[in-house]
Structure formats: structure tokens, C-alpha cells
Amino acid sequence: MSIEIIKSNINLDFVGKRKWAYTFSGILLLLSILSLVARGPKYGVDFAGGSIIQVKFAAAASIDKIRDGLRDTGVETVSVQSMGEAKDNEFLIRTDTMETGQDFTSKLTQNLTAATGAGVEVRRLEMVGPQVGNDLKEKALLAILFSLLLTAVYISGRFEFKWHQSAIIAAILGGAVYALYTFNVPMHYIIPAALAVTLVLFWIFGLKYALGGIAALIHDVTISAGVLSILDKEFTITVIAALLTIIGYSLNDTIIVYDRIRENVRKLAKTPLGVIINRSVNETLSRTIMTQGLTLVMVISLFILGGEIIHDFALALLVGFVVGTYSSIYVASPIVLTWEERAKKR
């Protein structure tokens, strides 16, 4: 016996509201892109280069006093975060300084002790060079792009049986992107251009399910990154991991809806596609709410109780999961219908 929060025979008009959804999504995308372009992503030490310093104090120490001690040492602080429980008196410092060595450690220890009045132990001092950080940044962007291309191949092959066509498009685009990357073309130019070309080619060749799926994933990642940019959060390795997780999670929800659309297309061959899509979304709505609701409870718990170290990771997941649920209903499936309607007019 299955549990249903919403009855399977409910008939909410999702398809009829798609123009409002397109407008809402357009506004969110515009704000996200404007923030990313105007302010730029705030890269953390992982990508921008710098040092990570982990310290433990013998007594309670305030973050303001720690900043004073760092300033006396000549360190321009990016962030100071408490680690573990308050009684541990342990902090993680991210800074753009490149200094290391015994002399720097001794000077840092002395100034922190003087500023806070508590003995301090430097437990970890790691440096990431700017070249290493830049390589990590570019490879992270490549990972996101190639995950989207492989996702497109999977969706197109599973729902339209066009494995070869979609694979050829993805291979050509992936090869072109990698070639430009080897010639040191900036990735922030390559990625948007490659994604735009991908969507155009899918539209031209009629890969409508892949088009809807990839458009939804681009929608989710862009808005999630835009929210982080608007809130002035750092883009780190953990945030990139969150964005990749969002891609997988959003894809899962989209595939559930697509599967039901495919089943209903076979059973209701003479029914208009808009009616089939609406029925399919309504039939999967209870499962979507249960799955997403439980996941959101866990992510919210992680966001509130997880501590400063994974705060941005949890925030990215929280935004991405909400937007991903919305896009599987109001972006991925309506785009399939829009393509069909335009194809019939032509």
C-alpha cells in the first residue's frame, strides 16, 4: 500500500501556468546573471590561492581579537570561522597571504596570543598557489559542463532513442571546449558559449527531452550560483560539489516526470501532449513532495546545525533542491510541449 499526500487524480493546471513560470524563471536568471557578471563569483582560497590556517586557543577567544592579531602579523584575513563546539576554542582562518615557514608561524603565534590573551597552537598551515587555484577553478567548470553534456546524451537516448545523434553533438562540443581550454581561452567565455550552442543544436535536431532537461539543469545551477553571489558567499570546492549534487538531484526528479510522460504517451496516443504532460506531473506530484520534503528537512538541519565549515555547502543545496523541484515541473516538461507546438506550426 503506497502512501499518498496528494491524491493521484488531482488535476492542477501546471501547463497552463507555464508562461507565468517562464517569466518568473527569466527574472531569477536575469538577477543571477547580473550579480555574477557585475560582482563576479567570490572565489575562496581553493580557487583564488592563499593559505588555510587552523588554530586552537587554550581559552575562549573572540573573532574580533583574532582578526587584530592577524592584522598585526600582516595577514589580510578573508574569513575566520569557528570549528566544532564553542568550548573547543578552535578556528579556521582563510587568507590570501602566501607566507609560510617557522618564522611566520612563530610571529603568528606571538601576535595571536598577545591579542587574545590566550595561548595558541597552530595545528595546520596549508598554502594554495594562485596557479594551482586557477587550474582547480577551470577544471571545476569543465566538470560541470561535461556533466551537463553527458546528462543530455543519457536523457536523449533514454526517452527519444537518439543515442548516436546526441552523443555526436556532445562529443563535438566537448572536443571543441577542451581544445579551446588547451589554447588558454578563458573558461568564463567558453562555458556560456558552449551551453548556448548546445541548446540551439538540441532545438534544431529535435532532441526535445534533452533540451528540456539541460535547460532545467542550467536554470538550477545558474540560479543557485546567483543566490550565492548575491549573498556574497565564497565559491569553494565544497560549493562546486554542491552544484554537481544539485545537477544529479534535479535530473532525478526530471526523469521521474519524463518517465510518466512516456508511459502516458503510449497509453493516451490520441490525447494532446499538453494534457498528457499535465496529467503526468499531477500523477507524480505526491512522490515529488514526499521525496523533496524529506530531503529538505535533512538539508535544513544541516544548514542550521552543521556549523560554519559546511554552511555554504548546505545553503547551495537548499537553494538548488528547491529550484530543482520547481524546474522539473515548470521548466523541463513545458519546454518539451513548447518544442512540439512550434514543430506543428512549422
Q: What percent of the chain has pLDDT over 90?
A: 8
3-state helix/strand/coil string of the chain: CCCCCCCCCCCCCCHHHHHHHHHHHHHHHHHHHHHHHHCCCEECHHHHCEEEEEEEECCCCCHHHHHHHHHHHCCCEEEEEEECCHHHCEEEEEECCCCCCHHHHHHHHHHHHHHHCCCEEEEEEEEECHHHHHHHHHHHHHHHHHHHHHHHHHHHHHHHCCHHHHHHHHHHHHHHHHHHHHCCCCHHHHHHHHHHHHHHHHHHCCCHHHHHHHHHHHHHHHHHHHHHHHCCCEECHHHHHHHHHHHHHHHHHHHHHHHHHHHHHHHCCCCCHHHHHHHHHHHHHHHHHHHHHHHHHHHHHHHHHCCHHHHHHHHHHHHHHHHHHHHHHHHHHHHHHHHHHHHHHC
Other C-beta atoms closer than 10 Å to the C-beta of 200 total 11
Position 1 scores a pLDDT of: 44
Among 81-85, 254-258, 306-310, the minimum mean pLDDT is found in 306-310
Most confidently modeled range among 92-96, 241-245, 309-313? 241-245
Taking residues 308-330, report their average pLDDT: 87
Given a cut of 70, whether residue 262 has pLDDT beyond it is: yes
From the CB of residue 21, how many other CB atoms can be counted at a distance below 10 Å?
17
Least-confidence region, from 67-81, 130-144, 192-206, 290-304 = 130-144
Q: Is the pLDDT of residue 6 over 70?
A: no
Q: Of 59-63, 256-260, 304-308, where does mean pLDDT reach its minimum?
A: 304-308
Q: How is the chain split into domains, by residue range?
A: 15-44+132-345, 50-128
CATH number of the structural domain 50-128 = 3.30.70.260
Burial-class residue 22 by CB neighbours within 10 Å (0-12, 13-18, 19+).
middle
By C-alpha distance, which of 250, 249, 284, 292 is closest to 264?
284
Check: CB of residue 293 under 8 Å from CB of residue 182: no
All three cell numbers of 273: 501532449
The reported pTM is: 0.80
Range among 84-88, 128-132, 141-145, 316-320 with highest mean pLDDT value = 316-320
What is the pLDDT at residue 34?
A: 92
Bigger pLDDT: 129 vs 194: 194
**pLDDT for the residue 24:** 92
Write out the CATH class of domain 15-44+132-345. mainly alpha
Cell of 161: 532513442
Q: Which amino acid is at 69?
A: G
